Structure 1
Amino acid sequence: MDKIIEYIKYKYEPLVIIVYGSFADGSNNLESDFDALVISKNYKKVHDTSFVNGIQLDVYVYPERYFEDNYDFEEIKQIYGGNVILDNENKGLNLKKQIENYIENRPLKTKEEIMENISWCLKMLERVKRNDAEGAFRFHWLLVDSLEIFSDMFQKPYSGPKKALKWMKENHPEAYILYKRALIDFDIESLSDWILYMKSLV
């Protein structure tokens, strides 16, 4: 990671570096990319996907002025739980606190909203059964969205698939087994088992 930080410092002259994802929580492996948010004094907004020392970057660079006005918290919510490893005038720490406040105080899904989402899952399941190209597309769509819907059912902030799957495995092992089976087997039976299990919880 040191080589990557050196590269970022040399290229962007950063005021702030916030590392998140696998390199922040120590779960990185040989296939992991390096996730970070960088605030630079004058550098333009850019997404750096270069390779450094054999590791692909997934680094979002923002000019300092970007955060002086109103900005979309959703755009940078991935820094939630990240590590501030370079900070200037507490800009990084303040930004992280703003995101923590946003994530932890978002309006919770109501029971009615959750029921609507479950109804959507059931409708999608029926459309998947067409067994055509559109049905296959909806199969993928349903698998992706149902993970976030499941998180909402337990008022768990959704922070991407990796964290959601880890949380599910540790706290809802039965759900994890069904969801994993639907992902791997990729057939109607396993998908139906997963969606009907979700329905049984509401």
Structure 2
Amino acid sequence: MRQIDELVKVVAAELTRAVLAGRDSGAKELLELGDAAAQEIDFSATGRTRAPTACYMAGAMEYREIERIALTIMDAHGCHTTILYGSHARGDATSHSDLDLVCIREDGPAVRDARVVDGVYIDAFIYPEARLKTLEPSLLRLLGGTVIRERGGFGAALMAQLRELHDRGPAPLPDDERRALTIWSQKMLDRFRGQRGVDADYRRSFLVVQALEDYFVLRNTWFPGSKEAFAWLREHDGSTYALFERAACPGAGDDAFSDLVQAVYRSREPSPS
């Protein structure tokens, strides 16, 4: 399965870049590469009768349509650079995936342009150049993205700066903050243990959500977002991933949350790189 997943991710991501860059011949070569490599894989164990098709790997939207929507939003806000990120850039989009964009213009306010186009949810963040002079950790979500259009190499330079920020890693969490997070997790357990009702259930749900981010924070690494965080856990820390699955199930018992807190807040290994 891992071999299949890696093939899908690599070919689909490179196919995205090739088509969005207008390199049709490169895209054709990548499709041929994917087809050839797929013949070396035994798909019988996956329940599939054939290798994933290009459309399956590429996600629900045609790349030309992604480009058309991105350019429409660029024009509406007077932007000179647009970056596609998220599942459509990674190549693991489905028919339910949002189209995530960051568009950059010389000046003006920062706005969020959320709309629905032909049943697809578009989430575009419009930033003035000044907003990007100091890079915030939230912008690390762009890593792995594709520059659709840029002026003067602005997009490529921004992506390089974000890679440097990522590689430096976050500042070490002070001991008092680490202790505060651990105490908070225990407080949450005490507040809903043995309790039922909307308030207790809300606290249970909130604990699961916060624990996922805190897992990475406590290990002095960037939180990559829920989808990539769960993927990392599934591959590198399967026991903790199983605890999240257990605690997230409706009607999970208090022991499920206690075990999750123990794993997230009282253990520092393994550490994401």
Query: TM-score under structure 2 normalisation?
Result: 0.65
1:112 shift after superposition: 5.3
Quick one: structure 1 residues 197 and 45, their matched pair in 2 at CA, closer, same or farther if it must change by over 3 Å? closer
Contact 2:84 2:102 in 1 (8 A): yes
Which residue of structure 2 lines up, in the alignment, with residue 116 of structure 1? Answer: 180
Q: Which residue of 2 aligns with 1:39?
A: 104
Alignment of 1:85-100 (within 5 A): 85-100=148-163
Structure-to-structure mapping, 1:112-151, within 5 angstroms: 113-129=177-193, 130-151=195-216
d(CA) in 2 for partners of 1:116 and 1:171? 26
Cα distance in structure 2, aligned partners of 1:154 and 1:75? 18
The structure number with the bigger radius of gyration is 2
1:166 positional shift: 0.6
Paired amino acid for 1:62: Y
1:167-182 equivalence runs, <5 A: 167-182=232-247
Structure 1 residues 99, 186: closer, same or farther in 2, change over 3 A? farther
- Please tell me the residue identity of whatever aligns with 1:2: R
Contact 1:148–1:158 (CA under 8 A) maintained in structure 2: yes
**Using the alignment, how far apart are the partners of 2:95 and 2:232 within structure 1?**
23
Q: 1:65 to 1:178 in 2, by over 3 A?
A: closer
Q: Secondary structure at the match of 1:36?
A: strand
Task: Call closer, same or farther: CA 1:104–1:111 in 2, change over 3 Å.
Answer: farther
User: Deviation string for 1:127-154 (max 9, x for gaps)?
Assistant: 1224343322221221111011111233
- The residue type paired with residue 227 of structure 2 is K
Name the SS for the 2:221 alignment partner: coil
- Superposition deviation, residue 71 in structure 1: 4.6
RCO comparison, higher one (Cα < 8 Å, 6+): 1
Shift of 1:186: 4.2
Q: Deviations over 1:164-187 (max 9, x none)?
A: 111111100010011111112442
SS of alignment partner, residue 29 of structure 1: coil
* 2:139 pairs with 1:73: no
Which segments of 5 or more consecutive residues in structure 1 lack a partner in the other structure? none
Deviation at residue 26 of structure 1 after TM alignment: 0.9
Determine helix, strand or coil for the equivalent of 2:162: helix
SS at match of 1:50: strand
- TM-score of the superposition, structure 1-length normalised? 0.85
Deviation at 1:28, TM superposition (A): 0.5
Q: CA RMSD in A?
A: 2.4
CA distance 1:112–1:104, shift in 2 (3 Å): farther
SS of match in other structure, 1:61:
strand
The 8 Å contact of residues 4 and 52 in structure 1, kept in 2 or not, is answered as no
Partner of 1:4: 66
Percent identity over paired residues: 24
